[in-house]
Amino acid sequence: MNRLAIFDCDGTLVDSQANICDAMEKAFAAARLDPPARDSTRRIVGLSLVEAMRALLPEGEDALHAALAEDYKRAFQAMRGAGVVHEPLFEGVAECLDALAAQGWLLGVATGKSDRGLAAVLDAHGLAGRFAALHTADRHPSKPHPSMIEACIADARAAPETTVMIGDTSWDIAMARAAGVLAIGVAWGYHAHDELRAEGADWVADHPSAIPPWLESRYDS
């Protein structure tokens, strides 16, 4: 079976928190609602948009959550069209991907982003051809449902025992647990180290450069 390393996108591959918070504020303003605190917005990164809105506004009705999700999409697309979206790779991510590929790992992405949003990120960083499997919230239930991981495994002809999920939020770790795969948390994203451990992370990496040697020692020993 192939070995597969699946990455979350926002908070793991790229730092997109400023854009997400800006778009969220615009979405709430369009609905004439007070915007959530930025810390609250960072907490929901990784969920599908409707689930994120439900978490931010639990007293709201389903129709409001759906409308806010559409307002968010419009705001983000307008920001991208205006050239003000900045989603840099975290330091060391490109080298991490190179090292894993050199070790024989296939690469995947499982993200709460849309297909369009993920494609824009990968294109911007020259990564469009690097991944054997790409799955987003457009075609799957929200994290922590295991659907995205299961689809990545099928695409890559891997197996749960040869797959690792790498992400910065408790949603990523819970999704990995639900899919029966190894769970690596990352300390440079939007949820704290202790939260990732409490959710069941097998390990938490402090820097992308630590991931390839850790996996090599685990799988090649």
Which amino acids are annotated catalytic?
8, 10
Q: Please check whether residue 89 is in contact with residue 113, taking contact to mean a CB–CB distance below 8 angstroms.
A: no
In the beta sheet, which residues pair with residue 178? none
Map residue 99 onto helix, strand or coil.
helix
Token pair in block for residue 128: 């469009």
Q: Residue 146, CB half-sphere, CA atoms under 13 Å: how many?
A: 16
- Per-residue H/E/C for 112-145: CCCHHHHHHHHHHCCCCCCCCEEEECCCCCCCCC
Phi first, then psi: give them for residue 106, nearest 5 degrees: -80, 155
